[in-house]
Amino acid sequence: MKDTKCKIVKCDSTIIHEDIINAVKESMPEEERLYDLAEIFKVFGDTTRIKILYALFASEMCVCDIAVLLNMTQSAISHQLRVLKQARLVKFRKEGKVVYYSLDDDHIKQIFDQGLNHINERR
Amino acid sequence: MKDTKCKIVKCDSTIIHEDIINAVKESMPEEERLYDLAEIFKVFGDTTRIKILYALFASEMCVCDIAVLLNMTQSAISHQLRVLKQARLVKFRKEGKVVYYSLDDDHIKQIFDQGLNHINERR
DNA sequence: ATAACATATGAATATTTGCTCATATGTTAT
DNA sequence: ATAACATATGAGCAAATATTCATATGTTAT
C-alpha cells in the first residue's frame, strides 16, 4: 500500500519521486504570490505589531496613546507604524499635531481569529 | 466632533487619551496569546516555509523530494521542517530511511487563503 | 518669533534568523 | 561488517530586523 513507481536515484541533484514532484509543482501558486504571502505574515510575526493591530481593532489611536498602552517608546511605535502603513494595514488622519491611526483592512481580524484557532485547538 | 475629555499631559510617561487607553486595555487578549499568535505568523513569514506548506497541501513528501522541488539543500529543508514540526504544523512518518512529511493542521489553508485575499484586494 | 509638543526618521546596536558546511544518526543492501 | 544513502543537527556566517538615541519636521499656543 505504498507508492510503487518510485524512481529512487539519489538525493543530491537527482530525483526520488519524480511523478509526485511534477504534480506538486503544477499545483504550486506563482513564486511571486508565495513571496507576497510570506511578506504579509512577516508583518504579523512580531508581538509589538500584533499588539498595535489588536489595539486598533478596539479604537483608533494616536501614536502617543499606543506608546503608553504598550509601555514602549514613541519612536519604537512610530517605526512599527511605518511598517504597518507600508503593508497597507493601517491608515491615519492628522488632527493638528496629533496623528490618529486606524485599521485599513477588513481581513486582519479574520486572519488573527483563525490563528488563535490554531493555538487553541492544539491545547 | 472630536474627543472632548482629552487629558492631554505629555507623551513620555504620561497619558493623552486616558479613557481610550483604558478601554482598549480591557479589550486586549492576554499577553501570552498575543505572543503565541506572533510566533505562528513568524513561522508563516518565510518564503521557504510557505513553499513547503503549499507543497504539502498537494501531497505528502519526503525531505529529498521537497529539496528537489524547491531547488534547495537537503539540510536547509530539514532545518525548516524542524521549525514547522515544532510549530506542530507538519507531522511525519518513517518508512525505512525515508521520512515522509505531511500537514498536521486544518487551518493553515484557510489562513493562507485569507492572506491571499488581502493581497488580491489591494490590487 | 519662540517655546512646547507630537510625530517621523536616520544611524547605530543588539538580536534573531536562514543557510551552508561538516558530520552524526539510523536504515538498507551487500 | 561495510558501504551507500536519507535525514538530522551543531557551529559558523551573513543578512534581516527591532529598538534606542539623537535629532528633524511640522503644528499650536504664547
Would you say residue B4 has pLDDT above 70? no
Q: Do B111 and A118 touch (CB under 8 A)?
A: yes
User: Across residues B37-42, what is the average pLDDT?
Assistant: 96
Per-residue model confidence as pLDDT tens for chain A (123 residues): 333 333 434 455 445 788 999 999 999 999 999 999 999 999 999 999 999 999 999 999 999 999 999 999 999 999 999 999 999 999 999 999 999 999 998 889 999 999 998 888 876
List the domain boundaries for chain A.
Answer: 29-121
Which residues from the 4-43 window of protein chain B have CB within 7 angstroms of nucleic acid chain C? Answer: 8-11, 16, 42
Report the share of chain B in percent with pLDDT over 70. Answer: 87
User: Across residues B64-90, what is the average pLDDT?
Assistant: 96
Q: Do A116 and B28 touch (CB under 8 A)?
A: no
Smallest Cα distance from B82 to chain A, Å: 17
**Distance from C-alpha of A57 to C-alpha of B83, rounded to nearest angstrom:** 30
| Grid cell locating A122 | 492544539
**pTM for the structure as a whole:** 0.88
Contacting residues of A for B32, CB less than 8 Å apart: none
Confidence of residue B100 (pLDDT cuts 50, 70, 90): very high
CATH number for region A29-121 = 1.10.10.10
Would you say residue B119 has pLDDT above 90? no
Confidence of residue B118 (pLDDT cuts 50, 70, 90): confident
pLDDT 10s digits, B24-34: 999 999 999 99
pLDDT score at B122: 73
**Distance from C-alpha of B121 to C-alpha of A104, rounded to nearest angstrom:** 12
Q: Among positive and negative, which fits the CA dihedral B90, B93, B99, B100?
A: negative
Instruction: Give B13's DSSP letter.
Output: S
Would you say residue B14 has pLDDT above 60? no
- CA neighbours closer than 13 Å in the CB half-sphere of residue B104: 16
pLDDT score at B99: 95
Taking the C1' atom of every nucleotide in all shown strands and the CA of B43, the nearest one is: C17
Q: What stretches of B1-123 show up as alpha helix (H) in DSSP?
A: 18-27, 31-44, 47-58, 63-70, 74-86, 107-121
Q: Report yes or no: A90 and A104 within 8 Å, Cβ to Cβ.
A: yes
Confidence of residue B12 (pLDDT cuts 50, 70, 90): low
Q: Report yes or no: A35 and A41 within 8 Å, Cβ to Cβ.
A: no
Contacting residues of B for A62, CB less than 8 Å apart: 16-17
pLDDT score at A17: 86
Three-state SS string over A24-88 comes to: HHHHCCCHHHHHHHHHHHHHHCCHHHHHHHHHHHHCCEEHHHHHHHHCCCHHHHHHHHHHHHHCC
**Distance from C-alpha of B64 to C-alpha of A12, rounded to nearest angstrom:** 8
